[in-house]
Amino acid sequence: MDNMDGLEVTDCTRCPDLVESRSRIVNGTGPADADMLFVGEGPGEQEDAEGEPFVGRSGSILDDKLREKGLARADVRITNCVRCRPPENRDPTAEELEHCRGYLEAEIELVDPDVIVTLGKVPSEHLLDRDVAVTSEAGSVERATLGGAAREVLVCVHPAATLYDRSQAGTFDAAIEKAATIAGDGASGQSQLGDF
């Protein structure tokens, strides 16, 4: 892809609405060889302002949960289905998701994670290519061909869901715990803060 330099999309004007609403392209963050890849929906206001995924309120919830499980944000890779902020934080359209798909596939192929964690309904349905009832399916692992290989995809609720529905906090906790276990069991082994 000529507008991608390694893991970074350097220039893209495929989605007119998003080109209009974004301040910048928000690429994934974290090690290029992370064992765990989190995939969100798309940048929000804070992410668009800072140029990094999950740096707003949802990001703090994710960071706190990772820390609780002995993981550091810096050890995992975090990205989104679309890299440009949709207007008024609306869901990305099917066309926008499709436009950004190649970048996500390339990122998955390069990072080659042990587990891909989908944060919320949009990334879960996008990567599993089916309807997903996120709350009831959270914590389930399914294999899907992504980035040129069969991958383990773990469905998870969006971190923000724990804010407006406290009952989702336990669901979120259990899913992240499971992701940490899968990545920890992987060949290269996720480093745990407790190891140091």
* Contact residues: ligand URA, CB under 6 A: 40-44, 47, 53-54, 56, 58, 80, 119
Q: Which residues contact 167 (CB under 8 A, 6 or more apart)?
A: none
d(CA 44, CA 51): 10
CB-nearest residue to ligand URA: 40
Nearer to ligand URA, 47 or 96 (CB): 47
Query: Residue 128: exposed, middle, or buried by beta-carbon count in 10 A (0-12, 13-18, 19+)?
Result: middle
Distances (CA, A) of 115 to 4, 13, 84, 85, 90: 23, 30, 24, 25, 27
Task: Give least dist CB 133 to ligand URA, A.
Answer: 18
Give 43 or 113: the residue with its C-beta nearer to ligand URA. 43
Is 77 in contact with 113 (CB distance < 8 Å)? yes
Q: Which is nearer to ligand URA, 60 or 181 (CB)?
A: 60
Q: Minimum CB separation from ligand URA for residue 92, in Å? A: 10
By C-beta, is 80 or 162 nearer to ligand URA? 80
User: How many angstroms separate the CA atoms of 27 and 4, rounded?
Assistant: 10
Q: Is 14 exposed, middle or buried (0-12, 13-18, 19+ CB in 10 A)?
A: middle
Q: Which is nearer to ligand URA, 38 or 152 (CB)?
A: 38
CB of 16 to ligand URA, least distance (A): 21
Q: How far is the CB of 88 from ligand URA (least distance, A)?
A: 14
**DSSP tag of 184:** H
| Min separation Cβ 55 and ligand URA, Å | 7
